[in-house]
Amino acid sequence: MLHGGNPVQHKLYMEIEEGKQVLRYIAKRILMMLPILFGITVIVFTLMYITPGDPAYAILGENATPEQVMEIHKEYGLDDPYLIRLGRYFAGVLQGDFGTSYKTGRPVFTEIMDRYPNTLKLALLSTLLGVVIGVAAGIIAAVKQYSIFDRVGTIISLFGVSAPSFWVAMVLVLLFSVKLKILPATGTYGPQYWILPVFTLGLQASTSIMRMTRSSMLEVIRQDYIRTSRAKGQSEWKTIMHHAFKNAQVPIVTIIGIRICGFLAGAVLVETVFAIPGLGKYIIDSVNFKDYPVVQGGVLWIGLNCIVINLLVDIVYCFIDPRIKSMYSNKKKAAAVGTGGASNG
Amino acid sequence: MKKTMKQMAALAAGFLIALSVTACSKTETPSQPGGETPAAQETDAPAQTEAPQTNTGYASASGMIVSAEPTDIKSSKDSMTVVISADPGSLDPHDSVTQNKHQSTRQIYETLVVYDDEGKLIPWLAESWEYEDDCTINFKIREGVKFHNGDELKASDVLFTLKRLVDDNTVAAMQVNKVDFSKTEVTGDYTFKLVTVEPYAIQVAMLENPLCGIISERSYQESGGDFFKAPVGTGPYKVVKYSAGDSLALEGFEDYWIAGQPYVKNLTLRYISDSSSRVIEAESGGADIVYEITATNVDRVRANENINLVSAMGANTSYLYMNQAKKPFDDERVREAVWLAVDIDQAVEVAYGNFGQRATGMISPGIDGRHPDMSSFFPARDLEKAKALLAEAGYPDGFETSISCNSNDQQRKDFCEVIQAQLSEVGIRVNIDVMDSTQWASSLAAGEGVMTIYGLTASTGEAGRTLFRWLPDTSEWPISSWENEEYYELIDKALTTTDTDTRNELYYQCQEMLMQNHVVLPVWHKELNAACQPDVRGFKITPSYEQHYLQFVYFE
């Protein structure tokens, strides 16, 4: 009301204000990333430091002589105290230098970037497949609660959550590559190579997404406004998709974000079975090899990715749920949202 | 409602059973539809179930696979995929001792000499060599050999390579640690003189190791020693593209010095660390040759009629180590009691099944200098005698000790568990310390190990390479901490003896000493293998360093 009596002008002003608030929030979140990344680095560095085992033996192999081991220690500064090594690592990272791999002598960043596209592709495609299957199945299961579809879906999703991914992967490979010989078993040399790994992880993702969609939808479907929508003669499709699903999206987006992060770091078993040169497997191999710079760089990179994905998820909330957007723009309103007062906007 | 639930349960159970049937049925021999049987299978593919084969057969007149003689072999296919268990990390042939690395790099770089099918050293890049005296070897380099950059191989490249091993502090430096570089010199475009600081019998054999792959001096200098930029050797294959952790694409070198080789022009090496996934590549026909079929899968692959499993005894033997620097293993009676209390046959059966063989000597079969018969040195299991020895040594009720093993090696873990059970029968309580590979190697080298199972490879194809590991300046010495001047002198004498028969006699004595003093108990000889598609010919296991030559492989 303060800005002239024109409601259109007022609305525009409010929107600009809200936009600014959202941007400010994003900037704040980006700044908050720094201490998190610092923490990740210190923790990973310390863990690698205190784990027993000498990288010199990994580099030199079983025939290393004591002199060669000493030489390697000198070359990589492995005998220096903890704080000096940590400081040296930070100094490098701040200049964009993540160090060089002990195993290959190549820059860690190059090594990571060789593998990252495979991991990202696998994570995104699997999540996409999971969303398509999971959301559709979840909506149907919720709408037709206690129907055969709901029960079969629930059992399959229970199976999907409990079946280990490497086992599903092996079964798929034995069936489609060894028995039927219609899909390649391992590698990443063309679209057909991605079908089995994406299906393995996608299936896994779809089960949790389905369960989340189902429970979130069930909650919304019981609300009064859905009954109102039906009562006023709105078509069932419109009622479900426009009124119910729209309000059930927030938890679904949350679980999608969690899944992508999980796949970026945790697709190790699937990467191993399908011989996909991905980041997760590379980090595990590097842990065994005591390739400290690679482990540190790799974990830092995945950490950065997860923070960015979480930020994106938060931004998406603003677009799908006006209540959350208004939280950023008005603290008083936010408090009201907290008590459920603004739920009907 | 109840009925629906029952139906659901039945449906779910059916689904699970169907999946598990699919998962398990592979262990049976698949019934192959007639149309899919490869043609070569019907003609003359060697039988799989008989005695293990060491190669895939060969069409040349000489019958020898590893040979520099040109042949008129033509391959029916011009590309081949080979699966290896680990990627080389870098394309520098000198920076790592792991055999897996050289399975890649040996196709790009070559050595002065190689072992032929019968384990005899034959000229390769070196056309000939002769001893001027006990410490001086005159090498003549083959003329007309080209590097991948177009330069001709000169003696100066060879000397540059050997010096580089030391100058860059590479792990390959040990291959030339007896070379006196102040006296070693180039004597012509194609000749050079190699001088050792003392007579060193295995110097030429040392140069066979792929760690001594010859590189181009010019390419090295121009790239600043960056082998990713300039992986230039004289080998049959040159690098097209290296994808770290995934694959190495190679292409036949058109100016290769043996006419007509390599027979298969395009070679892709794929790196798959998971042993089950490697087997699947063989079973699904995705790869032509798959290296390292592990103990858990070997029976399944042998039973598969569509795969040709080629195997050979390797050069690696595993031993039961007891660290004499740790009580009570400083007492020989205790070590002997342990030997008497364990049943190695049973442990090998449990851990390895039909893979490899129970050790019959200190050195693997087929290695030059292996003792002809050590059977009398292996004790029969005798628990009463073991208990008596323990009592005599002051441990009538046994004692508590530990055995360490590498977490990546399931077979050795199983082995340790069997030993643990067997030793408990005489009151020795063993704790198993499972560590990751690097931690394990570091703790052993630091002398922290108590008992362990550890393998040594006679990578020069002769016994000296294994036997010198009980010298105090090696990283393996602290695993047993065995102090014995007599042994040190004996092995030193053997290594400086150039006459083969005399040297082998000394090697036999060394092997007897190790057994008589209960230093290490040999338990298992490693087997090397590869699964080949039935049309693969000319493939042979290379036991010495497991590098396996691919230039001789062709498709029938």
DSSP string, B344-407: HHHHHHHHHTTSSEE--SSS-TT-BT--S--GGGSPPP-HHHHHHHHHHTT-TT--EEEEEEET
Q: Decide if A66 and B437 are in contact by the 8 Å CB cutoff.
A: no
Q: Which parts of chain A have pLDDT scores under 70? A: 1-5, 62-63, 328-345
Question: pLDDT tens across B79-96, in order?
Answer: 999 999 988 888 999 988
Determine how β-strand B308-322 pairs with β-strand B451-457: antiparallel
- Residue A293 in any domain: the answer is yes
| pLDDT-derived band at B235, boundaries 50, 70, 90 | very high
Higher pLDDT, B265 or B3: B265
pLDDT at A28 (0 to 100): 86
Q: Residue B145 — φ and ψ, nearest 5°?
A: -85, 130
Could you give the CA distance from residue A35 to residue A26 in angstroms, rounded to a whole number?
A: 16
> Are the beta carbons of A255 and A208 closer than 8 angstroms?
yes
Q: Which of B246, B437, B473 sits opposite A288 (nearest CB)?
A: B437
> Domain limits at A217?
108-338
Could you give the CA distance from residue B556 to residue B554 in angstroms, rounded to a whole number?
A: 7
Question: Please, which residues 72-91 of chain A have a Cβ atom closer than 8 Å to chain B?
Answer: none
Q: A191-221 and A148-162 are packed helices; what angle lies between their axes, rounded to 10 degrees?
A: 130
Cα-trace Rg, chain A: 25
Q: Which domains does chain B have, with CATH numbers?
A: 45-96+235-307+533-556 (3.40.190.10), 109-231 (3.90.76.10), 314-528 (3.10.105.10)
Question: Please, which residues 491-550 of chain B have a Cβ atom closer than 8 Å to chain A?
Answer: none
A104 Cβ under 8 Å from any chain B Cβ: yes
Question: Please, which residues 444-483 of chain B have a Cβ atom closer than 8 Å to chain A?
Answer: 445, 473-476
Distances (CA, A) of A61 to A17, A170, A262, B226, B405: 63, 32, 34, 21, 16
A233 Cβ under 8 Å from any chain B Cβ: no
Whether B24 has a pLDDT exceeding 90, the answer reads no
Q: Residue B382 — φ and ψ, nearest 5°?
A: -150, 95
For Cα atoms B374, B376, B380, give the angle at the middle one, nearest 5 degrees: 120
Q: Which of B247, B284, B442 sits opposite A178 (nearest CB)?
A: B284
Question: Please, which residues 132-151 of chain A have a Cβ atom closer than 8 Å to chain B?
Answer: 148, 151
- Residue A87 in any domain: the answer is no
pLDDT at A30 (0 to 100): 86
Q: Which of B15, B89, B280 sits opposite A178 (nearest CB)?
A: B280
Q: Decide if B284 and A275 are in contact by the 8 Å CB cutoff.
A: no
Q: Which of A178, A181, A188, A290 to mutate to test the interface with B (most CBs of B within 10 A)?
A: A178
Q: Decide if B408 and A181 are in contact by the 8 Å CB cutoff.
A: no
Question: pLDDT tens across B470-488, in order?
Answer: 998 887 889 999 999 999 9
Q: Decide if B23 and A171 are in contact by the 8 Å CB cutoff.
A: yes
User: Three-state SS for A340?
Assistant: coil
Tell which phi-psi region holds residue A133, choosing left (phi > 0), alpha (psi between -120 and 50) or beta.
alpha
Per DSSP, B171 falls in state G
Question: pLDDT tens across B149-188, in order?
Answer: 999 999 999 999 999 999 988 888 888 989 999 999 999 9
C-alpha torsion B492→B496→B499→B503, nearest 10: 10
Q: Decide if A115 and B244 are in contact by the 8 Å CB cutoff.
A: yes
Q: Which of A104, A186, A273 sits opposite B90 (nearest CB)?
A: A104
- Residue A167 in any domain: the answer is yes
Q: Decide if B445 and A104 are in contact by the 8 Å CB cutoff.
A: no
For chains A and B, CB pairs below 8 A equal 165
Per DSSP, B461 falls in state S
Determine how β-strand B536-537 pairs with β-strand B308-322: unpaired
Task: Kindly list the residues from chain A whose CB atom is less than 8 angstroms away from the CB atom of residue B8.
Answer: 148, 151-152, 155
Task: Kindly list the residues from chain B whose CB atom is less than 8 angstroms away from the CB atom of residue A54.
Answer: 438, 441-442, 445
B96 Cβ under 8 Å from any chain A Cβ: yes
Task: Kindly list the residues from chain B whose CB atom is less than 8 angstroms away from the CB atom of residue A59.
Answer: 96
Q: Decide if A63 and B174 are in contact by the 8 Å CB cutoff.
A: yes
> Region B497-521: what's the mean pLDDT?
94
Q: Decide if A277 and B245 are in contact by the 8 Å CB cutoff.
A: yes
Q: What percent of chain B has pLDDT over 90?
A: 67
Range of weakest confidence among A64-68, A190-194, B69-73, B519-523? A64-68
> Region B98-111: what's the mean pLDDT?
93
> Region B257-284: what's the mean pLDDT?
93
Question: pLDDT tens across B301-350, in order?
Answer: 999 999 999 999 889 999 999 999 998 999 999 999 999 999 999 999 99
Q: Decide if B441 and A62 are in contact by the 8 Å CB cutoff.
A: yes
User: Three-state SS for B27?
Assistant: helix
Whether B7 has a pLDDT exceeding 80, the answer reads no
- Residue A272 in any domain: the answer is yes
Mean pLDDT of chain B: 87
Per DSSP, B202 falls in state T
Q: Decide if A52 and B280 are in contact by the 8 Å CB cutoff.
A: no
> Alpha helices, DSSP H only, in B146-258?
155-167, 203-206, 217-223
- Residue A118 in any domain: the answer is yes
pLDDT at B427 (0 to 100): 95
pLDDT at B37 (0 to 100): 33
Could you give the CA distance from residue B126 to residue B111 in angstroms, rounded to a whole number?
A: 8
pLDDT at B52 (0 to 100): 59
> Alpha helices, DSSP H only, in chain A?
7-50, 55-60, 66-76, 82-94, 108-143, 148-162, 165-173, 191-221, 224-231, 236-238, 246-266, 268-273, 279-289, 292-320, 322-329, 331-338
- Let me know how long chain A is: 345
The shares of helix, strand and coil residues in chain B, as percent rounded to the nearest 5, are: 35, 20, 45
Q: Decide if A53 and B439 are in contact by the 8 Å CB cutoff.
A: yes
CATH number of A269's domain: 1.10.3720.10
Q: Which of A52, A159, A186 sits opposite B277 (nearest CB)?
A: A186
Residue A274's identity, in one-letter code, is F
Q: Decide if B270 and A275 are in contact by the 8 Å CB cutoff.
A: yes
Q: Decide if B280 and A184 are in contact by the 8 Å CB cutoff.
A: no
- Residue A140 in any domain: the answer is yes
Q: Decide if A151 and B5 are in contact by the 8 Å CB cutoff.
A: yes
| pLDDT-derived band at B437, boundaries 50, 70, 90 | confident
CA distance A168 to chain B (A): 9
Question: Please, which residues 260-319 of chain A have a Cβ atom closer than 8 Å to chain B?
Answer: 272-275, 277, 281-282, 285, 287-290
Q: Which of B95, B246, B437 sits opposite A277 (nearest CB)?
A: B246
pLDDT at B295 (0 to 100): 87
CA distance B74 to chain A (A): 28
- Residue B464, CB-side half-sphere exposure with 13 Å CA sphere: 24
| pLDDT-derived band at B59, boundaries 50, 70, 90 | low
Could you give the CA distance from residue B274 to residue B276 in angstroms, rounded to a whole number?
A: 6
Count of domains observed in chain A: 1
User: Which residues, at least 6 apart from A161, have a Cβ–Cβ distance to it below 8 Å?
Assistant: A204, A207, A208, A211
- Residue A177 in any domain: the answer is yes
pLDDT at A293 (0 to 100): 93
> Are the beta carbons of A106 and A100 closer than 8 angstroms?
yes
**Residue B549 burial (CB count, 10 A):** 20
Task: Kindly list the residues from chain B whose CB atom is less than 8 angstroms away from the CB atom of residue A188.
Answer: 246
Q: Decide if B98 and A273 are in contact by the 8 Å CB cutoff.
A: no
Both tokens assigned to B456: 């040594």
A188 Cβ under 8 Å from any chain B Cβ: yes
Q: Decide if A114 and B286 are in contact by the 8 Å CB cutoff.
A: no
**pTM for the predicted model, two decimal places:** 0.84
Q: Decide if A148 and B4 are in contact by the 8 Å CB cutoff.
A: yes
- Residue A286 in any domain: the answer is yes
**Residue A90 burial (CB count, 10 A):** 14
Whether B16 has a pLDDT exceeding 60, the answer reads no
Q: Which of A68, A171, A288 sits opposite B19 (nearest CB)?
A: A171
A179 Cβ under 8 Å from any chain B Cβ: yes
